[in-house]
Amino acid sequence: MKNFQNKAELSTYIGVLKANGSTIGFVPTMGALHQGHLSLVNNGLSENDLVVVSIFVNPTQFDNKEDLVKYPRTLEEDISLLKTVSSDRIIVYSPTVDDIYGNHIESRTFTFDGLEHEMEGAFRKGHFDGVGTIVKRLFEIVNPDRAYFGEKDFQQLQIIRKLVELHQLPVEIIGCPIHRAADGLAMSSRNARLSSEHRIVSPFIYKTLIAAKTQFGTKSAQAVTEWVNKEFKNQPLFELEYFIIADISTLKPVKRKSTKKSYRAFIAVYAGDIRLIDNIALN
């Protein structure tokens, strides 16, 4: 399996592949790969000749220094896991911070038609500037035909779509369904850091989302939101940061339901010092 650390070498290599007619899928990751990432890679392999997987813990998207320091870094295991999928059709790009940012570890400022102010944007200042900066830079280096993002980070997915639209980037963005553990917990690289006590109760998050979806059929967004808040007050192992029912195109909270619009419920929860997010389509 080819593994590049240098952006110029990777770009040259991909340029030759594309000149010879190969199509390139791209799965950007921060490593600590799990089955959710592999399903993105498999989607990429089914639609492209080759898939580039970037493994880079991007410092500019962390609003919390401790989270950045503690973020799992497992490059060798990640490469072994990718080899179980394919050795000859996957290319890894695992750059250093220097290769990406040089001396300026800073994000650019982006606007995404207001999507950046909601939910994760409100609770994690500067997060989407960091995501926009790294994803745009990676798209320039990899020059993929298609890029694959999981719906677990649904707000991120909508923001990347907006980035591509506003900056007219020549890449198709493909959103892929959330991959869940058998008990319903959405797969995340952070799950590995959950205490066993928190891991055992964590299916509660998805169960609450399913119940919220059922209630949304007959109740207002406000009534469902109040119910979820109460449920979490009775669950001492979790601290609910937000539960929001939002329009999927604006990501603004629903005031009055309309049958013409599509909604999702979004949740962010602290399990000890681990922050988990999840979401569910409501209609």
**Shortest distance, position 30 Cβ to ligand PAF, whole Å:** 4
The answer to whether 37 is a known catalytic residue is: yes
Residue nearer to ligand PAF on the CB measure, 81 or 201? 81
Q: 270: burial class by Cβ within 10 Å (0-12, 13-18, 19+)?
A: middle
Q: Return the bridge partners of 91, or none.
A: 2, 52
Q: Which residues contact 215 (CB under 8 A, 6 or more apart)?
A: 223, 224, 227
Q: 218: burial class by Cβ within 10 Å (0-12, 13-18, 19+)?
A: exposed
Q: Return the bridge partners of 173, or none.
A: 147
Using CB under 6 A, pick the residue from 39, 43, 48, 58 that binds ligand PAF: 58
211-250 footprint of ligand PAF as x/- string (CB under 6 A): ----------------------------------------
Is 63 within 8 Å of 127 (Cβ atoms)? yes
Residue nearer to ligand PAF on the CB measure, 138 or 269? 138
Interface of this chain with ligand PAF, residues 119 to 148, rule: CB under 6 A: 131, 134-135
Using CB under 6 A, pick the residue from 120, 153, 212, 277 that binds ligand PAF: 153
**Shortest distance, position 111 Cβ to ligand PAF, whole Å:** 18
Residue nearer to ligand PAF on the CB measure, 159 or 205? 159
Which of 26-34, 106-114, 192-200, 208-216 is the region at the interface with ligand PAF (rule: CB under 6 A)? 26-34
- Cβ neighbours, 10 Å, residue 111: 13
Interface of this chain with ligand PAF, residues 60 to 79, rule: CB under 6 A: 61
With CA atoms as reference, report the closest residue to 115 among 83, 176, 163.
Answer: 163
Long-range contacts (CB closer than 8 Å, 24 or more residues apart) made by 12-15: 13/91, 14/52, 14/91, 14/142, 14/143, 15/143
Contact footprint for ligand PAF (CB under 6 A)? 28-30, 58, 61, 131, 134-135, 153, 156
- Catalytic residue numbers, as ranges: 37
